[in-house]
Amino acid sequence: MTRLFEPYTIREVEFKNRIAMAPMCMYSSHNCDGQIEDWHKTHYSTRAVGQVGLIIVEATAVQPEGRISAQDLGIWSDDHIVGLTEVVRLMKQHGTKTGIQLAHAGRKATVDGDIFAPSAMAFNDTYKTPVEMTVNDIKATIQAFKDGTIRAQKAGFDVIELHGAHGYLINEFLSPLTNKRTDDYGGSAENRYRILREIIDEVRNVWVGPLFVRISAHDYTEGGMTPEAYVEMAKWMKEQGIDLVDVSSGALVPAKIDAFPGYQVKFSETIKSGAHIATGAVGLITTGIQAEEILKNGRADLILLARELLRDPYWAYSAAKELGTEIPVPKQYDRGWTF
């Protein structure tokens, strides 16, 4: 048995393999109300038929002003539970485990009205200047992550991922490049981590299942965060009951990224060995052999794929063939494997 197709268990939730679909915004809530549409149902259930072990539903906004675009999925209202429940049901029919990424876009929100961030600094000339959050605003957002978790639980998700990457709200608090606050939520690493600490504590009060945090391990900018700096925060996450750090990078500030196959895997390795926490590797991972190498060399515990699964929803079958392993096929598709 290859490592990629070995089952993997976190807090009694068993993934049938170590292939995860990374969260990917579909910008398909056509009525700008955060609701699940037919597109989401087809898109996610197709990857479930494709034997992905864990599907993490795209960045889903915990507050409407925290949407990247008006077409983002939302979980700020009980009205969202029905649609999400349906998507979970469709995915689970095929034995996949289901996750959802809870998100707030911070200064990278492009919705009408005021947008909010730790400090009143725009991402670049094309983005609005955000309003600096008051402590009351911060408390309301922490509560929104908790409420979103309760709704995700009602919808039947197995895994919650907190979006702390790509220059969105939590990431903006964590990095000194975007957090210029002088109160308890800015300054030292402990203070910049405070909002995430409080979100995790609130979420853990209502959620006993697997809990992931996605981070941008590198800001690629002088004075910004690095994988080594994140080791300290990942230790705090572990103490707080985070099960896995999903290690991405960049997009906090406009900086050039040299993206090559597996370019973020070394960050995953640094955090895994430095903080003794499980990690997910993501970023230009496209072959079974590459995935197997990462797992067998102990560089990550989970392989997340994004664009490759847009091109090939049945990637798991290709990877199994490449690695000389057989995986179950839905009985309707048996004929595809007989010659």
Ligand X SMILES: Cc1cc2nc3c(=O)[nH]c(=O)nc-3n(C[C@H](O)[C@H](O)[C@H](O)COP(=O)(O)O)c2cc1C
Q: Which residues bind ligand X (CB under 6 A)?
A: 22-25, 58-59, 101, 163, 165-166, 214, 248, 282-285, 305-308
Least distance in Å: CB of 33 to ligand X?
18
217 or 285: whose CB is closer to ligand X?
285
Amino acid at 311: R
34 or 134: whose CB is closer to ligand X?
34
Structure tokens at 216: 């941008």
311 or 335: whose CB is closer to ligand X?
311
70 or 329: whose CB is closer to ligand X?
70
236 or 263: whose CB is closer to ligand X?
263
Residue showing tokens 């700008």:
32
Residue showing tokens 């199994």:
320
Q: Which residue is nearest to ligand X (CB)?
A: 306
Strands 244-248 and 211-216: parallel
C-alpha to C-alpha distance for 239 and 233, rounded to whole angstroms = 10
Can you point out the beta strands (E) in the chain?
8-10, 13-15, 19-21, 54-61, 73-74, 97-103, 116-117, 131-132, 159-164, 211-216, 244-248, 278-282, 302-305
Do residues 22 and 304 make contact, with C-beta atoms less than 8 angstroms apart? yes
Angle between helices 135-155 and 81-92 (to 10 degrees): 50
Reported as type and span, the H/E element at residue 152 is helix 135-155
2 or 101: whose CB is closer to ligand X?
101
